[in-house]
Every structure is written in structure tokens, then in C-alpha cells.
A and B are shown apart, each in its own frame.
Chain A
Amino acid sequence: MKSYFLLSFLVCANFLNINVCQANHSNNWAVLVDTSRFWFNYRHVANVLSIYRSVKRLGIPDSQIILMVADDMACNPRNPSPATVFNNADQQLNVYGDDVEVDFRGYEVTVENFVRLLTGRLPPDTPRSKQLLTDEGSNILIYLTGHGGDGFLKFQDSEEVTSQELADALEQMWQKRRYHEIFFMIDTCQASSMYEKFYSPNILAMASSLVGEDSLSHHVDPAIGVYIIDRYTFYALKFLENVKLKSRISMKSFLGVCPKQDCISTVGVRIDLFHRDLAKVPITDFFGSVRPVELTFDFLDISNTPL
């Protein structure tokens, strides 16, 4: 009898696993954060706008993108070509574009606001554009960039979010059924330390460097006078520019986006919390928004509804 129960349990567990693999999401959200200000951090703003450009191009509407940018590089008096932010010294790609909706700017980019946003603990008068209104069917892309160290990411010059705080915030999101899956991306020094403490399920994490390594910038634009983008995001954008809404590129190929000869730092990946086969997860599950549809063939007869 006992063995029979055990067997049925195993079969059930197996079955459930399959179900988890097949479950799909119903909407996409993105939380994109640049935590550093001042002109010499131009590259971090270029980083976050690169990802913003990509998710928007692939169909996530602005109402479902929370963009936090700590400084305004496009309108900085030192910017030789105002209202632009470039990812490359050849100035081919203006990642600022002509339609940017920043939800948290300048001094609004704080650890408190970030954690409040994730956990949904907001003052009642918070506008809709500053809320993450996700549910158990939402896939969320979280992208962070700024200056960090082992176990923390600095916000502005005054405070930092620790890896433990971030992991706890994500766990609360999971318990409150605020996500279906999360893709966590971070471009900062010792970036992988930020995802090591995660313990909630269905999170795929990727970092620009391992603990003990610095993440490096790509190149200087002499006209601007500072580094204009970081290596990891530069190659990520290069990859994403080739992705179309209908392309079947998988997350697995995205995880190999910046090999060591390009990045110099080692890109870190954490897949143990994620239960789907990465080769079968289309990149648009996180970077785009393709809503599942079904055609309606059987209609109700409402012809006698009274006037």
C-alpha cells in the first residue's frame, strides 16, 4: 500500500512538472532602473535606454514599462547634441529616441521607491504610471545598472540596495502572486552577487560580471568626453536589434550574448530557480509582448435582449 502511494505521488510530481513547463504567461512588464547620476555616468543612462528601446520596439507598451532614470543626460548642458543619447561613438543609434516615458526621475530613484514598486506597498495617491500592476500571469523583465559591489547596488550617492533586500522583495512578490516568471538582468561591478541570495521560484538571472570582477565600459566618445556605454549592455543591444517580434530566438542564445573576449568580465547566469528548457523559451517571453489569442467561433444568442 505504501509503495502504491509513493508511486502515485511520484507520478503526480512528474505530471506537475510538465504542467509547470507548459504554463504560459498572459502579459509582459519591464522594470528598468539606472541608479547613478552625474555626467561621468552617461554610460549607465545609455545602458538603461538601450534596453528600454528594445522592449518598446518588441511591443511592451509604455503603460507596462517602469523606467527609473536618475539623471537626465539628454538635456545635460554638457551634451554636445541635446535630446540624444547614443550607444556608440559613430552616433548611428540614438537610444533616447523621440518617445521616452520616464516614470521615476532624478531624486525619485531611491531604494525605497524601488522596493515599494516591487512589493506594491505604495501610498494611496500614487499615479498608475508608478505602479507595477502585475498578476500571477505576468512575466517581468528587471534590468538594473549602476555602480555596485559585493552584495549591493548603489542608488544615487546616498544609499544602496543589498542582495538580501532584493531577494526578500522578490519573495514577497512571489507570495503575493505578483509574477509568473522574472528575468533579472544586472550590469554593474560584481553583478552576480546581487542574484546569489534569490530563493523564489521562476527567476532566471543574468549578470555582467562575477563576484570579484569589474564590469567594463565599451568605449569613449571624444565628443562627449566620457565612456558612453558598458560592454555587456552594448552587446546585449547589438543582439536585441536583430530580434523581431516574430523571431524564434531563444533565451538560451541570449544568455551567451557577451563572451569573455568581448565583455572581458565573465557573464554570470543563474538557472536553478527556473524550470523551463531555456532553448524552448522564446526571447519575446521577456523582451516583447505577444498576447495569446483564440478565435471566437461560437457566439451567444442575445437577439431578444429587451430594449
Chain B
Amino acid sequence: MVLTPLGSLQLIETTSVDDIIAGIGRNIYFPPNTDIKLLMDSLKRLLQTDALSDSMISMLNPGNHSDDQQVVTERQRRVRPSSDYNVLLTVVNPEPEKLHVSWKPEIPLNRYLQPLLDQLKLISNFSVQSQWLYLIDLVQKPPKLNTTFVLDKNHAQYIITPLEKKLGSGVSRNPCIHFVVYVTPCSYIPLYFHENNQLTTAMMSARWGGVQILNANEMSCNESVSFIPDDLSIMTPIITQFHSLIGVPNMSNYMSLMPLKSSTLRKWQLDSMYRLKIIEQYTNTRITLTSLSRLLGEISNIVIIEEVGKAVTESVEAAIKVLQCIEKGQLEEALEYSKIAFETSEFAFTHPSLLALLYFPDDQKYAVYIPLFLPVMIPVLMSLKGVKNWIQLKYKI
């Protein structure tokens, strides 16, 4: 079998499928009688042409965006572009005296999240941490519906605000993706989120992270047995939400997918992530450099030190290489250059030296220099008469 290279797709016509199916690698299977238009549409979806142009448009002209609401929602969910991210898993146990939870987050994180992060290592670095918090109440009192306690979606949105204060801001300036596992207090078991007569244990906030409810079994509440949660049922929402937050394309609405049953990405999904990242970083570079050059045009006093100048040149060169690599279909190289372009343009724009002499208008120069030099000049000016006399005297003799 021939290995399909990075970034390309292999279309396979086969009688063993009755519908277009996206495979685990870079293969698309379709039955012989498939309408060509349908196939084209599916491929467009798969290559995310809409999402790519939408993220470019919305970055270049804020407020403009694609007509497809799902594309826009997916973009607004994604965390802001950065080359490093923190992932913080917080387990909240509000009643540690009544309920002992015996769970080690490291093991499931290593099993389910780490392989995914390894796949994404060319895109960004992720550093994962976990913490336990105790004695934090749900501010909302959940009402009882039949036999369960429910938090309506409208109430659920007020949970994050008080939680956020306790999660800690961290010391790092990288964007943080939060996952909160909230162990339900014994008096509210079982607790669910509720919307349109559907119950679920997980919710997500765009660009921020996810919250899930962990209902202990009643036995652990009454007796002194510790509650051992199931790794898979905690990690399932976390991985699902992590996919949405970093922008993994969700194609299940448009075509059938071959089941993967793993937290990792299919190869064509990873290719899409590469494309998205390249576009994001390249567009960001373009905006930053344009804005910087406009700034330099407006304020002539600005001093560009060699370091900044070098960064700008480097950024422009890398950005040109991004385009060249994309034309040749070299995704990995394009991604690498787009990262360089993004980081150096960011460095140049936010360099502290740019501000040093930024605002020193002419009227302020008078205001500063005249009081400084005038008193010094007075004796000099007054001595001019003496100098003149001295010269006259000297040359007369």
C-alpha cells in the first residue's frame, strides 16, 4: 500500500461502502455511483475551505465573518493563538469531610491527553498541571426535578464566575485551558446540567475550558468508603472539549467517519489543524507587521534598534517562505516558518524599546529644554559683551 503524503488525501472508489466515509489515515472511501457534486462538497468540508477563509477574514476585518453559523461558532470557541499553552485540571471537592475521593489525575492524563499533545507538538507546546481544591460551594442551589437535581443552562453560566476566582491565575502569561471536575456535594446527588429536556454532566465555555459534574455513588456518601471515579467517564468530556477548544474540525454532521475510538486525531484532522494554524499565524504576522509599519509612518521619532529591525526582516522572510511552502504543499515546513514569522513579528511589535521616545512632540521639547538651558545660557550670553571687548582690545593693540 502506498503511504499518502502529509497534507494530501487519497480518494478510493470501492463497492464495500454505501456512503462517503472518511478514514483514519488520509483516505476517503466512496461508492461508485456517488454524485460528483456531493463528493466535491464533502471534500470542501474536509479541507475546511470555509473555516480557513473565515478565520482569515475575521482577523483582517474584525466584525466580518462567514455566513455559516457553525464555522463562526467553532472559531469563537478556539483559544487565542499562542505558541505555548497551559492546561490546568482542577478537581473541586466541596465536602471533603463527608466524601473521600480517591483519584490520581496523572494516570488518565498521561493515558488519554498526552498522546494527543504529542501529536500536536509541532503546533504548540502544552504544559499540563492538576490541582485539588476543597470547600468551594456551588453558589447556585440546584432545584430538584423528579429524582435528579438540575442546573438549567441559564444558571450554569453563573457557576464559572465564582469558581474562576479560586482557580488561581497562574504565573505564566500563556493562555490557560481550564478543566474543572466538580464533585457533587452529597445532598445534591445526582446533579446534572439541563437544556431542552436533555441532561448532561458537562459544559464548556468558549476560549476558557470546560466544567463537568462528578456524581459520587450514594454509598460513598453514607459510609466511610472512598469514592473511586471512572477514568474514562471523566476523560471523555475533557478530550471532547479539548478538541473543540483547540479547533479540531468536527465533521460528524456532514459525513460518516470511520470509528477511531481514541483521543488522538485522524491524520487528515491533524493536516487540517496544521492548515488552520498556518493561516492563523500567517495572518497574525501580516496584521502585526502592517500595524507596525503604519505606526512608524505616523511617528517619526520612534527609534528602531537593531534587534527589532532584525526581527522584522526575519519575520518578513519567514512569511514569504510560508507562502512558497504552501504552494508546494509542504505543510510541515510552512507551519514551522509561520511559527517563526508569528513569534518574531510579535517580538518586534511588543519590544519595550519602541515606547522610549514615542511621544515627545515639539512643544514639549521647548517646555523641557528651555527651562533647562536658559539659566545656563544667561551667564554665557552676558559674558559675550566681555568677550567682544576683549577681542576689540586685543586686535587694536
Please indicate the chain A residues that have their CB under 8 angstroms from the CB of B290 in the complex: 175
Q: A121-B355, A296-B203, A302-B235 are in contact. Are A291 and B63 (CB under 8 A)?
A: no
Q: Which residue of A has the minimal Cβ distance to B364?
A: A162
Whether, in the assembled complex, A26 has its beta carbon less than 8 Å from a beta carbon of chain B, the answer is yes
B207 engages A26 (CB within 8 Å): yes
Q: Which residue of A has the minimal Cβ distance to B353?
A: A121
A293 engages B153 (CB within 8 Å): yes
A-side interface size class: 35 or more
B291 engages A296 (CB within 8 Å): no
Q: A246-B158, A291-B205 are in contact. Are A305 and B164 (CB under 8 A)?
A: no
Please indicate the chain A residues that have their CB under 8 angstroms from the CB of B158 in the complex: 245-246, 290
Please indicate the chain A residues that have their CB under 8 angstroms from the CB of B65 in the complex: 19
Q: Which residue of A has the minimal Cβ distance to B108?
A: A305
Whether, in the assembled complex, A128 has its beta carbon less than 8 Å from a beta carbon of chain B, the answer is yes
Residue-wise interface mask of A (72-113) relative to B, using a CB-CB cutoff of 8 A (1 in contact, 0 not): 000000000000000000000000000000000000000010
A175 engages B294 (CB within 8 Å): yes
Which residue, of A16, A136, A137, A294, has the highest number of chain B Cβ atoms within 10 A? A294
A19 and B58 alpha carbons, distance in the complex (Å): 11
A51 and B70 alpha carbons, distance in the complex (Å): 38
Q: How distant is B319 from chain A, measured CB to nearest CB, in Å?
A: 17
Please indicate the chain B residues that have their CB under 8 angstroms from the CB of A297 in the complex: 198, 200
Please indicate the chain B residues that have their CB under 8 angstroms from the CB of A222 in the complex: none
A119 and B214 alpha carbons, distance in the complex (Å): 42
Residue-wise interface mask of A (53-86) relative to B, using a CB-CB cutoff of 8 A (1 in contact, 0 not): 0000001011110000000000000000000000
Residue-wise interface mask of B (205-246) relative to A, using a CB-CB cutoff of 8 A (1 in contact, 0 not): 111101000000000000000000000100111011101000
B-side interface size class: 35 or more
Residue-wise interface mask of B (46-63) relative to A, using a CB-CB cutoff of 8 A (1 in contact, 0 not): 000000000000010011
Q: Which residue of A has the minimal Cβ distance to B205?
A: A291
Please indicate the chain B residues that have their CB under 8 angstroms from the CB of A291 in the complex: 157, 160-161, 205-206, 208
Cβ < 8 Å to B, chain A residues 230-246: 245-246
Q: Which of B32-40, B97-105, B255-263, B325-333 contacts A (4 or more CB under 8 A)?
A: B255-263
A33 and B227 alpha carbons, distance in the complex (Å): 48
A229 and B260 alpha carbons, distance in the complex (Å): 64
Q: A19-B63, A176-B291, A305-B263 are in contact. Are A122 and B165 (CB under 8 A)?
A: no
A61 engages B208 (CB within 8 Å): no
Q: A26-B207, A294-B203 are in contact. Are A16 and B169 (CB under 8 A)?
A: no
Please indicate the chain A residues that have their CB under 8 angstroms from the CB of B195 in the complex: 295
Q: How distant is A287 from chain B, measured CB to nearest CB, in Å?
A: 12
B63's partner among A16, A288, A290, A303 (CB-CB below 8 A) is A16
Whether, in the assembled complex, A165 has its beta carbon less than 8 Å from a beta carbon of chain B, the answer is yes
Whether, in the assembled complex, A120 has its beta carbon less than 8 Å from a beta carbon of chain B, the answer is yes
A124 and B173 alpha carbons, distance in the complex (Å): 11
Whether, in the assembled complex, A27 has its beta carbon less than 8 Å from a beta carbon of chain B, the answer is yes
Please indicate the chain A residues that have their CB under 8 angstroms from the CB of B200 in the complex: 295-297
A302 engages B76 (CB within 8 Å): no
Q: How distant is B264 from chain A, measured CB to nearest CB, in Å?
A: 8
B240 engages A300 (CB within 8 Å): yes
Q: A175-B287, A307-B111 are in contact. Are A295 and B172 (CB under 8 A)?
A: no
Please indicate the chain A residues that have their CB under 8 angstroms from the CB of B291 in the complex: 172, 175-176
A301's partner among B80, B203, B259, B349 (CB-CB below 8 A) is B259
A291 and B204 alpha carbons, distance in the complex (Å): 10
Cβ < 8 Å to B, chain A residues 30-45: none
A295 engages B64 (CB within 8 Å): no
A302's partner among B168, B261, B294 (CB-CB below 8 A) is B261
A14 and B210 alpha carbons, distance in the complex (Å): 35
Q: Which residue of A has the minimal Cβ distance to B233?
A: A299
A299 and B252 alpha carbons, distance in the complex (Å): 11
Q: Which residue of A has the minimal Cβ distance to B165?
A: A61
Whether, in the assembled complex, B351 has its beta carbon less than 8 Å from a beta carbon of chain A, the answer is yes
Whether, in the assembled complex, B134 has its beta carbon less than 8 Å from a beta carbon of chain A, the answer is no
B259 engages A296 (CB within 8 Å): no
Please indicate the chain B residues that have their CB under 8 angstroms from the CB of A177 in the complex: 59, 62, 287
A303 engages B261 (CB within 8 Å): yes
A125 and B201 alpha carbons, distance in the complex (Å): 41
B169's partner among A63, A168, A298, A301 (CB-CB below 8 A) is A63
A121's partner among B203, B206, B352 (CB-CB below 8 A) is B352
A98 and B239 alpha carbons, distance in the complex (Å): 39
Q: A122-B352, A296-B237 are in contact. Are A172 and B204 (CB under 8 A)?
A: no
A128 engages B170 (CB within 8 Å): yes
Q: How distant is B326 from chain A, measured CB to nearest CB, in Å?
A: 23
Whether, in the assembled complex, B288 has its beta carbon less than 8 Å from a beta carbon of chain A, the answer is yes
Q: Which residue of A has the minimal Cβ distance to B156?
A: A293
Whether, in the assembled complex, B193 has its beta carbon less than 8 Å from a beta carbon of chain A, the answer is yes
Please indicate the chain B residues that have their CB under 8 angstroms from the CB of A133 in the complex: 173, 175
Residue-wise interface mask of B (161-188) relative to A, using a CB-CB cutoff of 8 A (1 in contact, 0 not): 1101100111111010000000000000
Q: A128-B170, A302-B236, A305-B115 are in contact. Are A293 and B355 (CB under 8 A)?
A: no
A303 and B114 alpha carbons, distance in the complex (Å): 15
Chain B positions within 8 Å of A, measured between CB atoms, are 59, 62-65, 76, 80, 111-112, 115, 153, 156-158, 160-162, 164-165, 168-173, 175, 193, 195, 198, 200, 202-208, 210, 232, 235-237, 239-241, 243, 252, 259-264, 287-288, 290-291, 294-295, 349-352, 354-355, 358-359
Give 5 A-B pairs besides A121-B351, A121-B354, A295-B198 with Cβ atoms closer than 8 angstroms. Answer: A16-B63, A137-B206, A177-B62, A290-B158, A305-B264
Jot down 15 A-B pairs with beta carbons below 8 A, ordered by A. Answer: A26-B205, A59-B161, A121-B350, A121-B352, A127-B171, A128-B170, A133-B173, A136-B59, A165-B359, A172-B291, A175-B294, A290-B158, A300-B236, A301-B260, A304-B262
- 9 closest residue pairs by CB, A with B: A63-B169, A304-B261, A59-B161, A175-B291, A135-B80, A296-B202, A291-B205, A20-B63, A302-B263
Chain A positions within 8 Å of B, measured between CB atoms, are 16, 19-20, 23, 26-27, 59, 61-64, 112, 115-116, 119-124, 127-129, 131, 133, 135-137, 162, 165, 168, 172, 175-177, 245-246, 288-307
